[in-house]
Amino acid sequence: QNIVSESDWDDFMAALKRPLPVSFRITGSHRDASDLREYMKKVHFPALQGFDIDGEVINPPNPIEWYPNQLAWQFDCSRTALRKSPKVKAFHSFLMSETNVGNISRQEVVSMIPVMFLDVKPSHYLILFTYRCAAPGSKTAQLLEAIHNVGENYDSETLADGLVVANDSNYERSQMLVHQAKRLQSPCLLVTNHDGQEFPRVFLTDRHSTEGATVLQFDRILCDVPCSGDGTMRKNKTIWRTWTHANGNGLHRLQKQILQRGCELLKIGGRIVYSTCTFNPIENEATSIFCLTVFGNTGALRLVDVSADLPQLTRRSGLTTWKVMDKSGAMFDTFDSENESHRTTLAPTFFPPKNVDELGLNNCMRVYPYMQNGGGFFVAVIEKVASIGTMDNYSIPKEERVSRSSEKVFLDSQTTTDTTAAETPAKSDELKAENTNEPILNENLKRPSNEEQR
């Protein structure tokens, strides 16, 4: 597959067998973030200088070079050392107490990457799709920090204009997400519990406007989709025993559906980041380029070249060629070469398309464990530059909207459920929903003013 070059293979395997270091972020939207960083360096780091525990050399945490303002750190220390050494225990207690009050967030290094490429502004509306996330809340907290981060003009009494919608498909995890986000005390968060591929349309209204209701679309979307997880081998040892190529093949359809729904919910001019923690090109590159053509307008969505962003982040470009394995272990280069008997088990979207060189897959990013002493990760940055003919021009006339406002709200039936059916783009005259009970929100009620807050 050439996922890792032959020259890097030994480093790759050696990194996978080492435990992950501890990593954490200082909450950058807090006014005293720099003070906390300097306190940590002055008070705790001297005690961690060059000593060993049972042969394990302990050194102070190192800043993550590509993360701004030295607000993210990595501490290469085992759990055994944390338990045995009073010096390390003191630092661990500091991390725990600051985490509980929202000044620090524990987060794996590669998990910090997707939000950094969203280019979030305080006025943006964002939605995060998570599914079976191992640590609910870390990316949500990072998005909230970005919404509230106004640099030197920080004012704790001024609310950001933006909104973060954090959606998780699992109810219990959604509750955990609320619990984790409480530490940041942000009024700009809305937690929802839907399957990402079936996230409903929400309509915004303005009671002072003569216009009809408009569909809510987002400036930025993060699709952190379910994946086979082989990039997490350093922390999830069971992957070594349970991984099979069939895992990725089975998840490909769901990944396409979630990304497709994200593209529909994205504003024209908006940006969506698709991320996984797997090395599998069927779950990565194949899913990313699917959304470029599924809507019929091949120029409406494009993969963005972000190679100049975060130059200190070591990465590799996306793959343009890969093979696909069926249940018997046979390998195929193209869908056309597949045996007729296997056509029901392998989808055409598993394979690189014929025009793969024109789609910009080199703009995707692959991060390997030996590069940043972290996990494996894949990131694709996608922009919508034109209408894809779904929700981009959808609205409800005012007279119809008034009649709906008293009705019970439930899920819109026009969500994406089958990408095979969605490969033919919907016509504009087919966009009227059969179910007329979409959620309707009043924009004037979205948040009290600063005066009302005080």
Task: Tell me which residues are annotated as active site.
Answer: 277
Query: Is 137 annotated for ligand binding?
Result: yes
Half-sphere exposure of 302 (CA within 13 A, CB side): 11
Q: How many CB atoms lie within 10 A of CB 125?
A: 19
Query: Is 139 annotated for ligand binding?
Result: yes
Q: Which residue has the tokens 């600051």?
A: 98
Query: Is 87 annotated for ligand binding?
Result: no
Question: Of the candidates 213, 216, 134, which has an alpha carbon nearest to the alpha carbon of residue 168?
Answer: 134
Distances (CA, A) of 343 to 264, 283, 334, 339, 387: 29, 19, 12, 7, 33
β-strand pairing of 266-276 with 377-384: antiparallel
Query: Is 168 annotated for ligand binding?
Result: yes
Query: Is 224 annotated for ligand binding?
Result: yes
Tokens of 143: 């998005």
Q: DSSP states of 194-235 as a string? A: --GGGPPP-EEE-TT-SS-EEE--EEEEEEE-----GGGTTT
CB 113 within 8 A of CB 379: yes
CA-angle at 328, arms to 323 and 333, nearest 5°: 20
Distances (CA, A) of 167 to 131, 195, 382, 416: 9, 8, 20, 16
Helix 245-265 vs helix 285-293: crossing angle, to nearest 10: 40
Query: What distance in Å separates the CA atoms of residue 341 and residue 326, rounded to the nearest whole number?
Result: 11
Three-class DSSP labels, 341-404: HHCCCCCHHHCCCCCHHHCCHHHCEEECHHHHCCCCEEEEEEEECCCCCCCCCCEECHHHHHHH
Helices first, then strands: H and E counts in the chain: 14, 21
Query: Is 195 annotated for ligand binding?
Result: yes
In 128-204, alpha helices (H): 138-148, 171-181
- Binding-site positions for S-adenosyl-L-methionine: 133-139, 168, 195, 224
